[in-house]
Amino acid sequence: MPTAEQTRARLAEIPNLTLSVDTPLSAYTRFGIGGPADLYVETASVPAFIAALEETRASGLPTVVIGGGTNLIVSDAGFRGIVLRYRGESLKAAGECVTAEAGAVLQDLVDFAIENGLKGLETLAGIPGSVGAAVYGNAGAYGHSISERVVEVRFFDGSEVRTLDNAACRFEYRESIFKKQKDWIIFSADLRLEKSDAAVLHRTAADILKVRNEKFPVTMKCAGSIFKNLLMNDLPGTAAAAVPASAVREGKVPAAWFLEQVGAKGMQHGDIHVATYHANLIYNAGTGTAADLCALIAELKTRVRDRFGLDLQEEVQYVG
């Protein structure tokens, strides 16, 4: 097995790949938190990405793939291994079908669809991050998720590049098969949209963006909602009995409702705060650490478990 130094040298020889050592991951997360990665590689080339994965696999070193870092909590110690990011970001339209590379910014895809008079993604306006991660976590807002529009996903399964159709992606609320197969890397997705009036779509997206920017100021160091909302039908009896009908929306209970009952709003651990206006929004006020963030998350989970017998599940993903 090659040493870490030999792996670094081999990665450095791969064309079209950028490599850095001891890279602070705080610069790659919206929380602005996270220690260094031993190695960080990024490329917009599929062959280079696959070559890098093969080298990392041969090395036996741990690997993780990131997108825009808007849904990540990286430990203060960082990541002892190799962090990879696929940066291919092309967007192509053919009739009502759009092909988006995984490294494209989701908002760019939303804008591209609107400019082409294609309806179906405008309610995703303002969700930060990349297309690849949006497919991975079935991102959504305002009652719609990206899965409604996905026809096919192209990904690397560790041996070859394959495609899965929508059903095979096993999309659910903030879930997909890619969350279970952590070593599968998404390269692109085909989406089917509908012809519509670009001006109307633009207004819908602009209205959504205005509301979202008030809730999540663009400079806020956060991950959006920390915890997933809950399906009413999956709630344990004690929790279901406590929820008023007015709190249930489209069969789901916001995690924020439970958090609010246990006094989450305005809670603080070090420089990590729960927003005073939204119990499921945690942000770094400046000098917060991953340790503070995890301690606050653990405290919130304990309070909800003790009061409602319910285990909240994080929507955020952990690295390191």
Ligand X SMILES: Cc1cc2nc3c(=O)[nH]c(=O)nc-3n(C[C@H](O)[C@H](O)[C@H](O)COP(=O)(O)OP(=O)(O)OC[C@H]3O[C@@H](n4cnc5c(N)ncnc54)[C@H](O)[C@@H]3O)c2cc1C
State the minimum distance, in angstroms, from the CB of residue 71 to ligand X. Answer: 3
The DSSP letter of residue 220 is -
Q: 273-312: which residues touch ligand X (CB under 6 A)?
A: none
| Among the residue ranges 15-23, 46-54, 63-71, 253-261, the one whose residues contact ligand X (CB under 6 A) | 63-71
Coil, strand or helix at 105: strand
- Smallest CA-to-CA distance from 276 within 264, 261, 262, 259 is with 264
How many other CB atoms are there within 10 angstroms of residue 90's CB atom? 11
State the minimum distance, in angstroms, from the CB of residue 234 to ligand X. Answer: 19
Active site residue 315: yes
Sign of CA dihedral 123, 124, 125, 126: positive
118 φ, ψ to 5°? -115, 125
CB-wise, 67 or 117, nearer to ligand X? 67
Asked if residue 30 binds ligand X (CB under 6 A), the reply is: yes
The single residue of 174, 176, 196, 212 carrying the catalytic annotation is: 174
**What is the rounded CA–CA span in Å between residue 75 and residue 97?**
39
Structural tokens at position 28 = 């790659």
State the minimum distance, in angstroms, from the CB of residue 79 to ligand X. Answer: 12
What are the residues whose beta carbons fall under 8 Å from the beta carbon of 136, sequence distance 6 or more?
Answer: 67, 176, 178, 179, 186
Q: 182-211: which residues touch ligand X (CB under 6 A)?
A: 185-186
How many other CB atoms are there within 10 angstroms of residue 211's CB atom? 12
Sign of CA dihedral 203, 205, 209, 212: positive
Asked if residue 100 binds ligand X (CB under 6 A), the reply is: no
State the minimum distance, in angstroms, from the CB of residue 255 to ligand X. Answer: 13
Write the interaction track for ligand X spanning residues 209-248; mark x where CB under 6 A is met and - where it is not. Answer: -------x-----xxx------------------------
273 φ, ψ to 5°? -125, 150
Residue of 25, 33, 41, 65 interacting with ligand X (CB under 6 A) = 65
Residue of 34, 81, 117, 132 interacting with ligand X (CB under 6 A) = 132
Asked if residue 68 binds ligand X (CB under 6 A), the reply is: yes
Residue of 134, 150, 201, 312 interacting with ligand X (CB under 6 A) = 134
Q: Which residue is nearest to ligand X (CB)?
A: 129
Residue bearing tokens 């090395």: 59
What are the residues whose beta carbons fall under 8 Å from the beta carbon of 112, sequence distance 6 or more?
Answer: 91, 93, 98, 100
Residue of 86, 227, 257, 308 interacting with ligand X (CB under 6 A) = 86
| Catalytic positions | 174, 225, 315
Instruction: State the residues that interact with ligand X by CB under 6 A.
Output: 30, 65-72, 86, 102, 127-130, 132-134, 136-137, 139-141, 178, 185-186, 216, 222-224, 317
